[in-house]
């Protein structure tokens, strides 16, 4: 009997081991995202969730040899090895799963400059059947002389994204634009959380658009309500009479590139008290208002320019990933994309 029990006991103890590293952690160090960078300027990224992969897209002047900026895209992955406790962040050369996204990217680019893309994938039950998904991309270009915020959108049928049924070309978001430069739109809603890649976002969770503009002389961060009762696309197409409000966290200097993820806003500013050039700052939405902006500190900021941050939270990580651009030495050339972990965790 003992000869039987001992092997069984050993199997119970050793045959079904658990993972050693259940929860991942993004690194404190700032890492050059070499897989996506070029010798030219690469910045202004955004990344939506698409199942276990992300579609990272950003502005780059690589296609014009350093002249005009276009929006370019890569398939991005984040993988945490629960046995080894190791992190992998990179790009997947395969394009099959996201082939339907290529036309909407192509439709954005013009001989002008395209900057600050912001992608939002959702199901809008007010306008479309349950099996129809909408991809909306907001961005800014300077075809009119100054930067105006525009958008394109497509429709795809079914949960397997069998195909795009239509692509609607560039349209102005007229209530955001002025004779000055208006750029870097981002959505905010008290229940809008870029987290669960398996659940669809609902357009009605969007309460405001937050963006930057130099309509008052320097770049400030503005907000404006977005009424989505008739659908997100209809709201963006509307001739709204509302006036954007300058947010209290703006300074007398240039505050730009806001990106909002639930109750965390990150942005770039050249206000005094930083480490040189543009630094990255954050603000948290608490008790119905945004907190005073805080500098991310010298771990992230340098005497050079840090620009256009975005945040991603992944379900089995204990902290948040921030991707941003910088022209610090040591990159491939010009502005490069970098990533690092931050403790400011969206909730």
Alpha-carbon distance of 292 to 245, in angstroms, equals 17
Convert 310-323 to b/e letters by CB count within 10 Å (16 or more is b): bbbbbeebebbbbb
pLDDT at 196: 46
Phi-psi region of 190 (alpha: psi -120 to 50; beta: other; left: phi over 0): alpha
| Rounded Cα gap, residues 249 and 220, in angstroms | 9
- Look at the pTM and tell me if it is higher than 0.85: yes
Q: Give the residue from 324, 22, 107, 316 showing the smallest Cα distance to 197.
A: 316
Run of H or E including 201: strand 201-202
pLDDT attached to residue 9: 45
Please give the pLDDT value at position 57: 83
- Specify the pLDDT at position 97: 54
Residue 152's φ and ψ, nearest 5 degrees, are -130, 160
Domain boundary assignment for the chain: 18-342
For 185-227, write each residue's pLDDT tens digit: 999 987 766 554 444 566 777 889 999 999 999 999 999 998 7
How many Å separate Cα 301 from the centre of its chain?
19
Question: Residue with structure tokens 């039987």?
Answer: 4
CA atoms of 339 and 213, how far apart (whole Å) = 26
Predicted confidence at residue 205, as pLDDT, reads: 79
DSSP state of 199: S
Give pLDDT < 50 ranges for the chain. 1-4, 8-16, 50-52, 96, 160, 196-199
Q: Which of 209, 247, 213, 246 is nearest to 225 (CA)?
A: 209
The pLDDT of residue 190 is 76
The helix/strand/coil state of 99 is: helix
Bridge-based pairing of strands 336-342 and 320-326 is antiparallel
The CATH classification number of 18-342 equals 2.115.10
Structural element, H or E, at residue 307 = strand 306-312
pLDDT at position 22, please? 83
Residue 138's pLDDT is what?
Answer: 93
3-class state of residue 65 by DSSP: coil
Determine whether 271 is exposed, middle or buried from the number of CB atoms within 10 Å of its CB (0-12, 13-18, 19+): middle
């Amino acid at each position: 009997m003992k000869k039987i029990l001992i092997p069984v006991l050993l199997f119970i103890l050793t045959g079904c081991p658990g993972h050693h590293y259940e929860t991942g952690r993004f690194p404190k160090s700032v890492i050059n995202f070499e897989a996506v960078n070029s010798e030219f300027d690469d910045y202004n990224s955004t990344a939506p969730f698409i199942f276990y992969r992300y579609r990272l897209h950003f502005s780059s002047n690589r296609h014009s040899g350093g002249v005009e900026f276009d929006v370019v895209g890569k398939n991005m992955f984040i993988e945490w090895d629960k046995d080894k406790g190791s992190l992998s962040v990179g790009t997947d050369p395969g394009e099959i799963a996201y082939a339907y996204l290529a036309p909407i990217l192509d439709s954005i680019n013009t001989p002008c400059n395209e900057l600050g893309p912001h992608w939002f994938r959702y199901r809008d039950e007010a306008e479309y059947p349950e099996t129809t998904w909408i991809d909306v991309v907001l961005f800014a270009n300077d075809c009119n002389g100054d930067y105006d915020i525009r958008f394109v959108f497509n429709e795809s049928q079914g949960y397997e994204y069998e195909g795009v049924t239509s692509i609607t070309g560039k349209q102005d978001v007229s209530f955001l634009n002025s004779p000055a430069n208006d750029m870097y739109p981002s959505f905010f809603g008290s229940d809008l959380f870029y987290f669960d890649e398996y659940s669809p976002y609902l357009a009605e969770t969007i309460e405001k658009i937050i963006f930057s503009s130099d309509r008052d002389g320097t770049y400030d961060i503005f907000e404006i309500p977005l009424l989505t009762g008739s659908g997100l696309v209809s709201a963006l197409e509307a001739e709204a009479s509302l006036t954007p409000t300058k947010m209290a966290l703006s300074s007398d200097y240039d505050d730009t590139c806001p990106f909002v993820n639930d109750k965390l806003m990150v942005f770039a500013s050249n206000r005094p008290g930083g480490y040189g050039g543009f630094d990255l700052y954050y603000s948290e939405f608490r008790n119905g208002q945004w907190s005073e902006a805080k500098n991310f500190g010298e771990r992230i900021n340098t005497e050079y320019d840090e620009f256009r941050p975005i945040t991603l939270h992944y379900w089995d990580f204990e902290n948040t990933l921030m991707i941003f651009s910088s022209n610090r030495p040591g990159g491939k050339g010009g502005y490069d994309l970098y990533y690092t972990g931050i403790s400011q965790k969206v909730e």
